[in-house]
A = this chain, B = another copy of it.
Amino acid sequence: MTGLRERKKQRTRDALIRAAHELFVTQGYDATTVDQIAEAVDVSQRTFFRYFTNKEEVALSLHETINDRFYASLCARPVDEPPLQSLRRAVDEVWDESSRTITEILPVELHMQLCQVIETTPSLLSAHLHHYLLLEEKLVQEIARRTGLDDEQDPRPRVLVAAFAGVMRSAARHWGMRGDASLEEARRSTHAFLDELRPALASEWGRGTRVAERDE
């Protein structure tokens, strides 16, 4: 089935990702050259660029697979579920399997540390935000499909996804900028932020309205 050729490719790809992560975390992203990554895996620089279109992509590759899983989770939710609830449940599902997903390729701690590198490195953060935007557009399509709305006519799918994604990123950033980079803490942070989505939009922010209404 999977030939030697393909396995070999997968191995060098994983090796490149791992080497890149280690170098990025220890030296910093900008201080690490593509040549260093390639050398660490003992391939030519040219080969690196055959696996990854640019330097950013190798740093964001794990996020990318997690994003894919998230999208798949959303698509698998029952269509009669309210949209925001589907998004939220999909988040839960992805968190549940994320540590397994990550560990297949590299130590979880390394990934956590890289998250902080991403948040603190401008060029990397920019690319990250762009990737996130592309995911958002897929989410809009899916929400529109599920609700049977035309996303060109009705702005609600876009608006919902934009608000949701904005809060998700905000939670990720809030967590990523801190020191305690545990998976569990990240999960809690996203939950806490999502719980505040509706309360935060209330016109008045009295202490009374502070009680979060969970979607569960």
Residues of chain A having any CB pair with chain B under 8 Å: 82-85, 122, 125-127, 129-130, 133, 136, 147, 149, 155-167, 169-170, 173-174, 192-193, 196-201, 203-205, 210, 215
CA distance A177 to B193 in the complex (A): 30
In contact, B201 and A85 (Cβ under 8 angstroms):
no
Contact of A130 among B129, B156, B174, B196 (CB under 8 A): B129
**Could you tell me the distance in whole angstroms from the C-beta of A101 to the nearest C-beta in chain B?**
25
Chain B residues within 8 Å of A174, by CB: 155, 158
Stoichiometry, as copies per complex, reads 2
Q: How far is the CB of A185 from chain B (nearest CB, A)?
A: 14
CA distance A194 to B198 in the complex (A): 15
The minimal Cβ–Cβ distance linking A42 to chain B, given in whole angstroms, is: 30
Q: Are A198 and B201 in contact (CB under 8 A)?
A: yes
In the bound complex, what is the Cα–Cα distance between A201 and B133 (angstroms)? 20
Pairwise interchain contact B162-A169, C-beta atoms closer than 8 A = yes
Q: Which residues of B contact A157 (CB under 8 A)?
A: 200
Contacts of A149 in B (CB 8 A): 205
Which residues on B sit within 8 Å (CB–CB) of A200?
Answer: 155-157, 159-160, 163
Residues from chain B with a CB closer than 8 A to the CB of A159 are: 167, 170, 193, 196-197, 200
A203 and B200 alpha carbons, distance in the complex (Å)? 16
CA of A196 to CA of B163, assembled, Å: 11
> Which of B127, B147, B163, B173 interacts with A166 by CB under 8 Å?
B163
